[in-house]
């Protein structure tokens, strides 16, 4: 995530330049990032989160009630921690902290990861000192912001510097065929998992596959159990071409290095990593993503020449198998797609954001 990438760069600069660095992460109670942040040795606190919607929902009244509670909780935490600067990576969980910082006269930087700006960052931008954008096309959404800077979207170090041979050997995969990485994001994608399960023999006839399937929104691991059972039912030679696991951690750089193609959702993090690494992709945008954010991300990659899109409504075992076959049968096309994806990358994004944060912290001093 951008937060992890910026934290890594802040720590590097602190160690080299000799200035003290103390970090506090404020997120939601059930945030998927909690485990990552605490593993980095950073204090993690949660605040109540309320989501504003542009449609009628029974969830709206209780969510509206949580907004002032979130601001009050963030106000207390900002007062206790006394930060020199606040870095926000977006989402409704970030709004209370940015607002609390504004009320306490703490400068803040709001980072927008996506090409299509969501409501939360539009609100937070009104209280921010600087808005950092990943794509020039996002600038028009922040016409009233005090300052807007194009930085790009930072990439965490964990995805860089992998070795292709280890991508195969970590999972004992057949090296005689291309490797495809399937990812549905942190929680996994049930619809993508279903399509892969139904097409597994056809897919594995063409490639080896590392499949990050998640544990599902309910944490039940139902898809993992189903996919594992499907693997066990395969002939031995095809079993040697398929690895399924709920999460990918330290293996991610090697998997990316080995992957000839990625099949996945088109969240900001995934698209950013594909661009940074120059990886061609089959993208299946989440149809219910806020304001069509994932479709916009996928279209940006497709229009640049780095990806093809299969819409959720069109996703099937056959569609996935056919599209995979078309791409793997044309290595020159895959190479061209990877080069096109790489042109969207902003390799110095983390450094640019760190420079802005240090500038804001110095102004406060």
What's the burial of 166, exposed, middle or buried (CB within 10 Å: 0-12/13-18/19+)? middle
> Given this model, what pLDDT does residue 64 score?
64
> Given this model, what pLDDT does residue 131 score?
98
Q: Contact at 8 Å (CB) between 147 and 125?
A: no
Partnered with residue 181 across adjacent β-strands are 210, 262
Of 51, 46, 49, 42, nearest to 29 by C-alpha is 46
Do 148 and 181 lie in one domain? The reply is no
In this structure, how many other beta carbons lie within 10 angstroms of the beta carbon of residue 348?
A: 13
> Given this model, what pLDDT does residue 124 score?
95
Do 142 and 83 lie in one domain? The reply is yes
What's the burial of 327, exposed, middle or buried (CB within 10 Å: 0-12/13-18/19+)? buried
Total domains in the fold of the chain: 2
Grouped pLDDT means (10 residues each) for the chain, 365 residues:
93 97 91 86 89 58 75 95 96 92 97 88 95 93 96 93 97 97 92 97 98 88 96 97 95 97 94 96 90 88 97 97 97 98 93 98 72
> Given this model, what pLDDT does residue 52 score?
60
283: three-class secondary structure by DSSP: strand
CATH number at residue 209: 3.40.50.2000
Do 142 and 175 lie in one domain? The reply is no
Do 201 and 337 lie in one domain? The reply is yes
> Given this model, what pLDDT does residue 92 score?
85
Do 187 and 332 lie in one domain? The reply is yes
């Amino acid at each position: 995530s951008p937060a992890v990438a910026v934290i890594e760069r802040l720590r590097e600069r602190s160690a080299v330049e000799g200035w003290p660095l103390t970090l506090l992460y404020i997120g939601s109670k059930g945030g998927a990032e909690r485990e990552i942040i605490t593993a980095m040795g950073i204090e993690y606190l949660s605040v109540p989160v309320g989501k504003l919607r542009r449609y009628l929902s029974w969830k709206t009244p209780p969510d509206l009630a949580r907004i002032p509670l979130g601001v009050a909780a963030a106000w207390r935490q900002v007062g206790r921690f006394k930060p020199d600067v606040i870095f926000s990576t977006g989402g409704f969980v970030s709004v209370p902290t940015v607002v609390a910082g504004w009320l306490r006269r703490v400068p803040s930087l709001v980072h927008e990861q996506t090409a299509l700006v969501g409501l939360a960052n539009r609100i937070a931008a009104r209280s921010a000192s600087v808005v950092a954008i990943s794509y020039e096309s996002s600038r028009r959404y922040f016409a009233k912001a005090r300052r807007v800077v194009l930085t790009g979207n930072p990439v965490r170090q964990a995805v860089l510097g992998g070795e292709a041979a280890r991508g195969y050997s970590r999972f004992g995969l057949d090296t005689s065929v291309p490797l495809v990485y399937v990812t549905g994001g942190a929680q996994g994608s049930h619809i993508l998992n279903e399509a892969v399960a139904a097409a597994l023999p056809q897919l594995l006839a063409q490639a080896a596959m590392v499949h990050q399937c998640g544990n599902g929104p309910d944490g039940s691991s139902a898809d993992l159990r189903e996919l594992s059972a499907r693997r066990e039912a395969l002939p031995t030679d095809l079993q040697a071409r398929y690895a399924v696991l709920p999460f990918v951690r330290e293996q991610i750089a090697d998997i990316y290095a080995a992957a000839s193609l990625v099949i996945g959702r088109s969240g900001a993090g995934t698209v950013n990593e594909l661009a940074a690494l120059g990886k061609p992709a089959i993208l299946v945008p989440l149809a219910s993503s806020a304001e069509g954010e994932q479709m916009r991300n996928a279209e940006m990659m497709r229009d640049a020449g780095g990806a093809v899109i299969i819409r959720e409504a069109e996703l099937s075992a056959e569609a996935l198998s056919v599209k995979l076959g078309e791409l793997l049968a044309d290595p020159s096309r895959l190479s061209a797609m990877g080069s096109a994806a790489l042109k969207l990358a902003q390799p110095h994004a983390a450094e640019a954001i760190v420079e802005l944060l240090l500038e804001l912290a110095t102004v406060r001093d």
